[in-house]
Amino acid sequence: MYVYDSLDKTLLNQRVAEFRDQVQRRLDGDLTEDQFKPLRLMNGLYLQLHAYMLRVAIPYGTLSSDQMRKLAYVAKTYDRGYGHFTTRQNIQFNWIELSTAPDLLYDLSEVDLHAIQTSGNCIRNVTADPYAGAAADELDDPRIWSEVIRQWSTLHPEFSFLPRKFKIAVTGSEADRAAIKFHDIGLKIVRNNEGVLGFAVYVGGGQGRTPIVAPLIKAFLPAPDLLRYLDAVLRVYNRHGRRDNIYKARIKILVDSMGADSFAAEVASEFNRLDPKLLSVRDDDVSRLRDMFAQPYLRPDPDSSSSFEDLVKKSPRLGPWFKSNAHPHKTPGYSIVTISLKPIGGIPGDATAEQMFGIADLADRFSLGEIRVTYTQNLILPHVRQADLFVLWQELERLNLATPNVGLASDIIACPGLDYCSLANARSIPISQRISERFANLNAQHDVGPLDIRISGCINACGHHHAGHIGILGVDKKGEERYQLTLGGQGNGESAVGKIVGPGFDEDGIVDAVETVVSTYLSLRTEGEVFSQTLARTGQDPFKERLYDNR
Amino acid sequence: MPFILSANRLRDGAVVYFAQDNSWSERIEDAAAVPEDRVGKLEEAGLDAEARNHVVGSYAIEVAASCPPYSTRLRERIRSHGPTVGDRQTRTAVEDHQSRPMGGPEG
């Protein structure tokens, strides 16, 4: 993993001291709320419905066990004993006091964690494939390039006051597990015909009130030119982005209005003006980062997998968990294990301090001390020997973390919604809980197959509802919560925006509607077809008929 | 319908209500309810408390004439009673939703 150097540590220490002074001046009345609000937001501290909320950056979703222990300590010491992992691969604490926030940030800085650039119109925390360094289909480790971007973008003076927030995602695999085309910039590591490493660059994707799948702006960008090209994209955006209208300020609106080709041409022109000597990514820097992210040698252990498969046959409950929660590792005999934070009827993404302490210990025992956070609000142990899977599963069961539902109907993405968020119009979490309970039968979920249900409590779409096979958007209609249903979104692998099916539903109706959609699919599917394939084949009409004909 | 005044406390962000005795209380039961023609005065009290750095973001809420005051807006009921999904420590708005119809106050 990346280890902070003295420069990083000095920056963090100075930032904590600066914020401590700012908080004290606010409490003493030397700063007004208008003066203080942008300062606290620059440190990830929001004021939500019930309290201050702190959003902690987890760079490219990678955590060490010691960092996870510190997050558990924060949950226990400064919050109410739990934290909420988000669709930005971050963690949020919901019950923070302003007066103790500087102490909290000091504690986080001891393990190189912070909340810088988790808010505001700047380049936000970079996200990446959570299987980084472990996936068999990986061309290169996206963490290396994410860290290059982190260092370039941290406190970047030119890009600290952009027209709107700016999100970058990186994947090193063909299978997109970072939803890169729903980001302001999505980077996919590729090799050209000569075998040279570089990036396919997608610009102008996003969700919110104008969901757009990012177009390809450059098919091959040589890796050393990465920062120069990103700089050019940001400069064009900074110059032309709409600052007069918050709803039209994201880069997706600019790219859409200019057209992808015109935008790409202007970026190319800006790129040529920038001095390559200043912005080229140097080989020695990349080599240093490559060494930091190189995992210790894992001895291939093919016998381990066959003996484990025998065990699966003997234990009926282990089989479904292995099938949905374990993924092949690049090293024979190892697995990438997803820890579901979606217990049936639970709050998606929530983990208690005890669970976080437990996961940290399991990471040390079974996964080289490494943990990943997924944008689907689960956690990952990336390097688990298959011979250890049975014991790991038992330990996860003890922590109530062994739900075998990854990628299935109850693995629901949900934003905090109106229960916590001051922007929300409707609740998300209770809807997700009720749907999860409706599909509580795990055998039936496995029979239904891959199904991606996503819920947002407002049009800002933090719950990624546009990209769900089944998407739910909560709205306020004359003081009542209503829920719009969309079908056909894609966020894992493929990228597509779902389409609204018809009139919305009330709280009870939306849960029934989801069940109707699933039962319709089951009646329509052909042998081996998954939900998204059936929907693509039949279109929405048979689903609409079942949903609305009897209303 | 009467109005009450709410805000978040500066120090910890807690939801508070302007009370009869000019203090700020975490209990909606303590909120001073005033008729519509006195909302301006109520809002002035909020701005004064903001200027003295006690609270932030004060605003008036229309409530039903009941005891305790009852907002027809779910957002305000969640603010006063906590998340409907429980936050593991405080009493939650679930009880409130179960005991009262969503559309309005009882009696």
Q: What is the structure's pLDDT at B66?
A: 81
Domain-located, residue A169: yes
With cut-offs at 50, 70 and 90, classify the pLDDT of residue A494. Answer: confident
List the one residue out of A41, A59, A53 whose CA is nearest residue A113. Answer: A59
Domain-located, residue B19: yes
Domain-located, residue B42: yes
* pLDDT tens-place string over residues A339-378: 999 999 999 999 999 999 999 999 999 999 999 999 999 9
From the list B10, B12, B79, which residue is nearest A49 (CB)? B79
Q: Report how far residue A513's alpha carbon sits from residue A501's, in angstroms, rounded to the nearest whole number.
A: 11
Instruction: Indicate the number of domains in chain B.
Output: 1
Query: How would you label B24-56 residue by residue, b for 16+ Cβ within 10 Å and e otherwise?
Result: beeebebbbbbeeeebeebbeebeebbeebbbb
Contact B89/A51, CB-based, under 8 Å?
no
Contact B13/A33, CB-based, under 8 Å?
no
* pLDDT tens-place string over residues B16-41: 999 999 999 999 999 999 999 999 99
Domain-located, residue B89: no
Domain carrying residue A81: 6-109
Domain carrying residue B13: 3-72
Domain-located, residue B105: no
Mean pLDDT, rounded, for B68-95: 75
pLDDT over 50 at A205, yes or no: yes
With cut-offs at 50, 70 and 90, classify the pLDDT of residue B86. Answer: low
Domain-located, residue A258: yes
For residues A271 and A328, state if they share a domain. no
With cut-offs at 50, 70 and 90, classify the pLDDT of residue A49. Answer: very high
DSSP at A206 = B
Strand, coil or helix: B41:
helix
List the one residue out of A181, A18, A176 whose CA is nearest residue A101. Answer: A18
Q: Please, which contacts does B31-34 make with residues 24 or more away whose CB atoms are closer than 8 Å?
A: B31/B4, B31/B5, B31/B6, B31/B63, B31/B68, B31/B69, B32/B4, B32/B5, B33/B2, B33/B3, B33/B4, B33/B63, B33/B65, B33/B69, B34/B2, B34/B3, B34/B4
Q: What is the structure's pLDDT at A306?
A: 63
Strand, coil or helix: A544:
helix
pLDDT over 70 at A124, yes or no: yes
User: Which tokens sit at B65?
Assistant: 């004439």
Mean pLDDT, rounded, for A420-429: 97
Is residue B72 a contact partner of residue B80, using CB atoms and an 8 Å limit? no
Contact A94/B72, CB-based, under 8 Å?
no
* pLDDT tens-place string over residues A50-66: 999 999 999 999 999 99
Mean pLDDT, chain A, as a whole number?
95
Domain-located, residue B77: no
Domain-located, residue A120: no
Instruction: Indicate the number of domains in chain A.
Output: 4
From the list B12, B57, B73, which residue is nearest A51 (CB)? B12
Mean pLDDT, rounded, for A508-532: 97
Q: What is the structure's pLDDT at A311?
A: 74
Q: Report how far residue A107's alpha carbon sits from residue A118's, in angstroms, rounded to the nearest whole number.
A: 18
pLDDT over 60 at A324, yes or no: yes
Q: What is the ipTM of this complex?
A: 0.91
Domain-located, residue A480: yes
For residues A316 and A456, state if they share a domain. no
Is residue B93 a contact partner of residue B63, using CB atoms and an 8 Å limit? no
- Return the minimum-mean-pLDDT range out of A247-251, A299-303, B3-7: A299-303
Is residue A192 a contact partner of residue A220, using CB atoms and an 8 Å limit? yes
| Domain termination site, one of A367, A398, A429 | A398
For residues A230 and A190, state if they share a domain. yes
CATH number at residue A448: 3.30.413.10
Query: How would you label A320-339 residue by residue, b for 16+ Cβ within 10 Å and e otherwise?
Result: bbbebbbbbbbbbbbbbbbb
From the list A47, A80, A479, which residue is nearest B88 (CB)? A80
Residues of A in Cβ contact (< 8 Å) with B55:
none
For residues A328 and A283, state if they share a domain. no
pLDDT over 90 at A128, yes or no: yes
| Domain termination site, one of A241, A258, A293 | A293
Residues of B in Cβ contact (< 8 Å) with A46:
none
Q: Report how far residue A201's alpha carbon sits from residue A181's, in angstroms, rounded to the nearest whole number.
A: 9
CA distance B28 to chain A (A): 13
Give the strand pairing for A91-96 and A185-191. unpaired
* pLDDT tens-place string over residues A143-188: 999 999 999 999 999 999 999 999 999 999 999 999 999 999 999 9
Domain-located, residue B27: yes
Residues of A in Cβ contact (< 8 Å) with B80:
none
Q: Does A33 touch chain B (CB under 8 A)?
A: yes
User: Which tokens sit at A285?
Assistant: 């820097």
Domain-located, residue B15: yes
Chains A and B form CB pairs within 8 A to the count of: 74
With cut-offs at 50, 70 and 90, classify the pLDDT of residue A305. Answer: low
Domain-located, residue B83: no
List the one residue out of A422, A416, A350 whose CA is nearest residue A37. Answer: A422
Residues of A in Cβ contact (< 8 Å) with B70:
none
Is residue A118 a contact partner of residue A32, using CB atoms and an 8 Å limit? no
Instruction: For residue A527, count CB atoms less than 10 angstroms from its CB and return exposed for 0-12, middle for 13-18, buried for 19 or more.
Output: exposed
Q: Report how far residue A481's alpha carbon sits from residue A417's, in angstroms, rounded to the nearest whole number.
A: 11
Q: Report how far residue B50's alpha carbon sits from residue A29's, in angstroms, rounded to the nearest whole number.
A: 10
**Which 36-65 residues of chain B touch chain A by CB within 8 A?**
50, 52-53, 56-57
Instruction: For residue A91, count CB atoms less than 10 angstroms from its CB and return exposed for 0-12, middle for 13-18, buried for 19 or more.
Output: buried
